[in-house]
Amino acid sequence: MKKAALNISLMEIIGLIIGSLVIITLIFFVMGITDLFKNNPEQATYDNYDVLISSVNDLVKGQAGDSLNEFPDKKIEIVPAQENAVQVTIPLYIQEGFGIVGFDREEIRIKNCAGVQVKSPLKKPEMCSKIPCLCLYKQGPEVGPYAYSLCTALRNIGKVSVVSQSEYNYGGLRDDAPGNDLYVRAKCGQTGQLFNVKNVKIIKLPRKEEGKFDLIFDILPS
């Protein structure tokens, strides 16, 4: 009887040790992510842009049931959407002073921080060549990027837009696609809300041309 009790006690001790190690590992993991955003938020923005591009590429090439390569532990899957579309939802981090813009033509419309469309459109950077692209930029105090940091071509993509109800998007209203042009700012003006980390739904909608798709972004409320 004493031997059995001793064995149970040892098993409980081993379980407590393993449980403690798991908790400690998780604490260090969370602290590491927090420190990355806190101590090097600019690098975190660049890293998250890379994750965004990889996720978009996985979505364009994938189908419902496929998992994104950038999230093997979380197993984020592509799921069906309406009208033969598929979609995926990923976390997106944008540091203050940065933004993301999508170009599917030579010029896109933009709005100022008051939501009023400005006269001068935003011109597509030369690094995008002739096809649609997603760019990460450093922004100035008002609408209009001062410098594009990175731009990535989106092959097999026709139109890039975002649903109009997103409060962080300052792209102008589109005539030929759902919602607005994609012009997401981390913060607009001194009183604007900071983007920080948001869940973003990306929808891939088939076009009439074989192998071509439209991308629709939806920034979900916190």
Assigned token pair, 12: 């409980």
What tens digit of pLDDT does each residue of 91-107 get?
A: 999 988 899 999 999 99
What span, in angstroms and rounded, lies between the C-alpha atoms of 37 and 217? 24
Average pLDDT over residues 30-48: 67
Mean pLDDT rounded to a whole number for the chain: 81
Give the burial class of 94: count Cβ atoms within 10 A of its Cβ; 0-12 exposed, 13-18 middle, 19 or more buried. Answer: buried
Residue with the bigger pLDDT between 119 and 139: it is: 119
CB 137 within 8 A of CB 193: no
Alpha helix stretches (DSSP H) within the chain: 2-39, 41-61
What tens digit of pLDDT does each residue of 198-217 get?
A: 999 999 999 988 889 999 99
Q: How confident is the model at residue 41 (pLDDT cuts 50, 70, 90)?
A: confident
Instruction: Answer yes or no: is pLDDT of 7 > 60.
Output: no
Backbone phi, then psi, for 64, in 5-degree steps? -55, 130
What tens digit of pLDDT does each residue of 155-206 get?
A: 999 999 999 777 889 999 898 888 999 999 888 877 677 888 899 999 999 9
Percent of the chain with pLDDT over 90: 44
pLDDT of residue 143: 60
Residue with the bigger pLDDT between 64 and 4: it is: 64
pLDDT of residue 180: 94
b/e sequence 159-181, b meaning 16+ C-beta within 10 Å: bbbbbeebebbbbbebeebebbb
Residues pairing with 43 in the sheet: none
Instruction: Answer yes or no: is pLDDT of 119 > 60.
Output: yes
Pairing state of beta strands 145-153 and 133-139?
A: antiparallel
